[in-house]
């Protein structure tokens, strides 16, 4: 087809551009394109570049072929026509197309002016692809053509080397850069922060001639990620201007450093100052709320999203909401959100729903979600299978777990990662099949990590396997010498076997190594207020007397019903009576007692515990639910336990 020379009719320009803007599918694009050819748009640079941009959108298949064929038909293509497509592809999931298009551009352009606009995108694509060879060639071309004087280009070169993980090369380019600007400094700083080289990052931060908000935001984020929360706070407080990224970085820093309350307080402060929250900050806050189990706050955010008509299928919002509701015990609400985004569901939304159901021990329902995915031809990813495997392991469904593990690579071509093997270890371990669990560890293609050994450790504890447990503890402690839970589990195993000397030894080693047991902490929501209880004798004066006598009364009544305190859950060998009273000071028992006093019959008692619920508390609460006729829902580190009528929803899989 030959283009007629001359511009398109002026009246058609605006509607054509609008059509391109609204275009949704490739076949629509073909129609518009046909129309453009008829009405003389083939050389209209702006319209063609819009058309090219569409081709580069992710989810459009055959985009590259179409874009290439369009360009071939242009009489005198210029660099701008290529630019939008090159940029688009570099940001898509097919960055290679961007490199291909760039090569095509070089071969068909007569005049190279304007190609410097595309170069940053191609460099970005090379970085994403780890295309070392192409990247270095490009760098060579840039050096020869003096393009390094363009700050956009040289900064992109630095960024590419950082993406390659070649910090030294990036630094060399940075040091030799003719026109270093604030972006160059910021890129270099984030490069150092990403690999945890805080000192070098901080050095540049101090040295740079002029800092801007981005520099500070990057430092806050970097400090937060390497556990230096206080330094992050220093910078945050020092800043006079803050944007939503500043707040998000500081909020995430708190979250990462286990200071969720301060994170939420900061979010409140941000809102009260009129800073408009966007998707990233909301996602981050929702995950904190999920961890704390603060349903009310979570609901408030959900309402906020609805009233501000924020689309839940955007980014991670949907999956963050689903996760929040399921972690807060409201699996129905989670379902509701999941159903409400039936159009435009992300893979993350499906995964969160499956994991949420797994967390509730609803293995059947989790499998049904997966069946729906298959029916709708939605391709699962590795996280989908983690959810499914965890559902099976919490539901005691060994055969089903084996099935999913198999189809994961046979049908879906997903290579199992260490986490998947960990799930399998857990699956067999919980079901009491320790030999099979150990078999997984022996046969997996990588070295087992702490979590795999901890799975063995806790199932040895549950099934009274001292020797296997000892060995697993040795391995786990070797991999994570500071993790108190490994020592505690080993000590529990010894206690269960009555080997109090060994219990004492473990305790001694812990003290020598300075490993402190994380104190158990349970919280309970009463009248919209959160009340916290810590393990041990210190009890908030506000409640102490009433709660302690309530526990005494409950223990007395339960003993009449056959309750026998399980003293193996005590870390120290003290006299039997001492063990009993120290058991009765477990945080979840205090929270239950507080709930019995302050929550009316018929209203479920919701408790969140920071660690795993101990087996004594588990049988204790089962009995309470029957004797006091209460529904008690406990969320521990691993999952939900719904106690009713003397039975727990976990069916002893925990």
Partner DNA sequence: CTAGGGTTAG
Selected binder of DNA within 13, 100, 109, 213 (CB under 7 A):
213
Q: How far is the CB of 221 from DNA (least distance, A)?
A: 4
Comparing CA positions, the residue from 542, 528, 540, 520 lying closest to residue 603 is 528
| C-beta closer to DNA: residue 97 or 566 | 97
Binding mask 385-404 for DNA (x = CB under 7 A): -xx-xx--x-----------
Q: Please report whether residue 315 would count as binding DNA according to CB under 7 A.
A: yes
Distance (Å, rounded) from C-alpha 18 to C-alpha 23? 9
Distance (Å, rounded) from C-alpha 424 to C-alpha 456? 11
Distance (Å, rounded) from C-alpha 232 to C-alpha 254? 9
Q: How far is the CB of 328 from DNA (least distance, A)?
A: 13
Comparing CA positions, the residue from 87, 74, 75 lying closest to residue 114 is 87
Q: How far is the CB of 286 from DNA (least distance, A)?
A: 7
Question: Binders of DNA among 559-578, rule CB under 7 A?
Answer: none
Q: How far is the CB of 512 from DNA (least distance, A)?
A: 28
Selected binder of DNA within 248, 460, 465, 625 (CB under 7 A):
248
Tell me the window of 353-361, 480-488, 526-534, 581-589 that interacts with DNA (CB under 7 A): 353-361
Tell me the window of 293-301, 422-430, 480-488, 500-508 that interacts with DNA (CB under 7 A): 422-430
| C-beta closer to DNA: residue 284 or 625 | 284
Q: How far is the CB of 544 from DNA (least distance, A)?
A: 35
| C-beta closer to DNA: residue 40 or 313 | 313
Extract the tokens encoding 50.
Answer: 């819009």
| C-beta closer to DNA: residue 249 or 522 | 249
| C-beta closer to DNA: residue 41 or 254 | 254
Cβ-based neighbours of 468, under 8 Å, separated by 6 or more: 434, 438, 456, 460
Q: Answer whether 533's CB lies under 8 Å from 591's CB.
A: yes
Q: Please report whether residue 287 would count as binding DNA according to CB under 7 A.
A: yes
Distance (Å, rounded) from C-alpha 61 to C-alpha 42? 22
Extract the tokens encoding 474.
Answer: 């040795």
Residue 368 CA: distances (Å) to CA of 119, 388, 404, 600: 48, 10, 13, 36
Q: What is the DSSP letter of 329?
A: T
| C-beta closer to DNA: residue 182 or 574 | 182
Selected binder of DNA within 36, 96, 292, 383 (CB under 7 A):
383
Distance (Å, rounded) from C-alpha 302 to C-alpha 282? 10
Selected binder of DNA within 16, 43, 252, 257 (CB under 7 A):
252
H runs (alpha helix) in 273-330: 279-292, 295-307, 317-327
Q: Please report whether residue 243 would count as binding DNA according to CB under 7 A.
A: yes
Selected binder of DNA within 212, 368, 540, 561 (CB under 7 A):
212
Number of residues that bind DNA (CB under 7 A): 74
Question: Binders of DNA among 589-618, rule CB under 7 A?
Answer: none
Tell me the window of 19-27, 446-454, 526-534, 614-622 that interacts with DNA (CB under 7 A): 446-454
Q: How far is the CB of 375 from DNA (least distance, A)?
A: 20
Q: What is the DSSP letter of 536?
A: S
3-state secondary structure of 417: coil
- On the 0-12 / 13-18 / 19+ scale of CB atoms within 10 A, 480 is middle
Q: How far is the CB of 352 from DNA (least distance, A)?
A: 5
Selected binder of DNA within 95, 329, 422, 520 (CB under 7 A):
422
Binding mask 92-131 for DNA (x = CB under 7 A): ------------------------xx-xxx--x-------
Question: Binders of DNA among 401-420, rule CB under 7 A?
Answer: 418-419
| C-beta closer to DNA: residue 158 or 551 | 158
Distance (Å, rounded) from C-alpha 620 to C-alpha 2? 84
Distance (Å, rounded) from C-alpha 250 to C-alpha 235? 10
**Strands 521-526 and 529-534, how do they pair?**
antiparallel
Question: Binders of DNA among 451-480, rule CB under 7 A?
Answer: 451-452, 455
Q: How far is the CB of 90 from DNA (least distance, A)?
A: 8
Judged by phi (left if over 0) then psi (alpha if -120 to 50, else beta), residue 196 lies in: left
Q: Please report whether residue 652 would count as binding DNA according to CB under 7 A.
A: no
Extract the tokens encoding 364.
Answer: 């059947």
Tokens 């490009």 — which residue? 138
Rounded to the nearest angstrom, the gap between the alpha carbon of residue 13 and the centroid of all alpha carbons in its chain is 45
Q: How far is the CB of 492 from DNA (least distance, A)?
A: 19
Distance (Å, rounded) from C-alpha 635 to C-alpha 252? 23
Backbone angles phi, psi at 195, to 5 degrees: -95, 10
Distance (Å, rounded) from C-alpha 442 to C-alpha 641? 32
| C-beta closer to DNA: residue 290 or 503 | 290
Selected binder of DNA within 319, 465, 522, 619 (CB under 7 A):
319
Q: How far is the CB of 345 from DNA (least distance, A)?
A: 12
Q: Please report whether residue 441 would count as binding DNA according to CB under 7 A.
A: no
Q: How far is the CB of 43 from DNA (least distance, A)?
A: 23
Question: Binders of DNA among 254-283, rule CB under 7 A?
Answer: 255, 278-281, 283
Q: How far is the CB of 116 from DNA (least distance, A)?
A: 6
Binding mask 178-207 for DNA (x = CB under 7 A): ---xxxx-xx--x-----------------
Selected binder of DNA within 290, 328, 567, 591 (CB under 7 A):
290
Q: Strand 529-534's sheet: what is its strand order?
A: 529-534, 521-526, 605-609, 632-635, 640-644, 647-648
């Amino acid at each position: 087809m030959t283009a007629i020379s001359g511009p398109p009719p002026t009246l058609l320009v605006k509607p054509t551009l609008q059509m391109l803007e609204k275009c949704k599918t490739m076949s629509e694009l073909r129609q518009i394109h046909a129309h453009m050819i008829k009405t003389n748009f083939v050389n209209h640079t702006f319209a063609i570049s819009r058309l090219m941009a569409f081709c580069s959108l992710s989810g459009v298949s055959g985009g590259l072929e179409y874009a290439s064929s369009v360009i071939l038909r242009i009489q005198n293509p210029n660099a701008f026509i290529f630019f939008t497509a090159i940029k688009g592809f570099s940001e898509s999931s097919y960055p290679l197309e961007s490199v291909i298009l760039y090569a095509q551009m070089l071969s068909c352009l007569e005049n190279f002016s304007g190609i410097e606009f595309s170069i940053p995108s191609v460099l970005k694509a090379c970085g994403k692809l780890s295309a070392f060879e192409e990247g270095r060639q490009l760098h060579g071309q840039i050096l020869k053509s003096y393009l390094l004087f363009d700050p956009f280009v040289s900064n992109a070169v630095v960024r590419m080397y950082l993406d390659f993980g070649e910090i030294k090369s990036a630094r060399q380019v940075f040091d030799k850069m003719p026109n270093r600007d604030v972006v160059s400094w910021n890129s270099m700083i984030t490069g150092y922060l990403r690999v945890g080289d805080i000192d070098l990052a901080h050095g540049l931060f101090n040295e740079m001639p002029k800092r801007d908000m981005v520099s500070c935001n990057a430092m806050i984020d970097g400090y937060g990620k390497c556990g230096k929360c206080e330094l992050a706070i220093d910078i945050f407080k020092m800043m006079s201007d803050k944007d939503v990224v500043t707040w998000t970085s500081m909020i995430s820093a708190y979250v990462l450093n286990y200071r969720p309350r301060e994170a939420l307080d900061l979010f409140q402060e941000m809102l009260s100052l009129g800073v408009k929250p966007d998707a990233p900050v909301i996602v981050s806050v929702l995950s904190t709320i999920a961890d704390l189990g603060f349903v009310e706050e979570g609901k408030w955010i959900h309402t906020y999203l609805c009233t501000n008509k924020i689309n839940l299928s955007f980014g991670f919002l949907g999956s963050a909401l689903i996760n929040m509701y399921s972690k807060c015990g409201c699996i129905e609400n989670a379902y509701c959100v999941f159903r409400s985004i039936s159009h435009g569901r992300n893979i993350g939304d499906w995964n969160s729903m499956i994991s949420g159901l797994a967390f509730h021990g609803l293995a059947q329902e989790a499998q049904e979600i997966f069946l729906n995915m298959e029916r709708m031809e939605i391709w699962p990813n590795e996280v989908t299978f983690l959810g499914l495997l965890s559902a099976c392991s919490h539901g005691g469904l060994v055969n089903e777990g084996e099935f999913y593990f198999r189809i994961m690579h046979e049908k879906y071509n997903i290579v199992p990662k260490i986490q998947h093997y960990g799930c399998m270890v857990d699956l067999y371990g919980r079901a009491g099949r320790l030999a099979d669990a150990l078999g997984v560890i022996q046969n997996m293609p990588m070295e087992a990590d702490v979590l795999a050994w901890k799975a063995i450790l806790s199932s040895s504890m549950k099934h009274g396997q001292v020797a296997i447990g000892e060995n697993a503890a040795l391995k786990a402690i070797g991999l994570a010498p500071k993790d108190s839970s490994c020592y505690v589990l080993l000590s529990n195993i010894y206690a269960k076997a009555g080997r109090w000397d060994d219990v004492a030894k473990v305790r001694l080693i812990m003290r020598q190594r300075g490993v402190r047991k994380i104190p158990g902490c349970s919280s309970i929501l009463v009248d919209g207020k959160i009340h916290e209880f810590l393990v041990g004798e210190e009890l908030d004066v506000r409640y102490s007397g009433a709660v302690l006598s309530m526990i005494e009364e409950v223990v007395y009544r339960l003993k009449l019903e056959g309750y026998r305190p399980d003293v193996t859950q005590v870390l120290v060998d003290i006299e039997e009576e001492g063990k009993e009273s120290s058991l009765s000071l477990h945080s979840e028992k205090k929270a239950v007692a507080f709930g019995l006093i302050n929550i009316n019959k018929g209203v479920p008692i919701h408790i969140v515990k920071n660690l795993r619920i101990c087996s004594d508390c588990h049988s204790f609460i089962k009995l309470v639910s029957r004797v006091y006729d209460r529904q008690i829902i406990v969320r521990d580190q691993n999952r939900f336990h719904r106690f009713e009528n003397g039975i727990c929803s976990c069916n002893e899989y925990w």
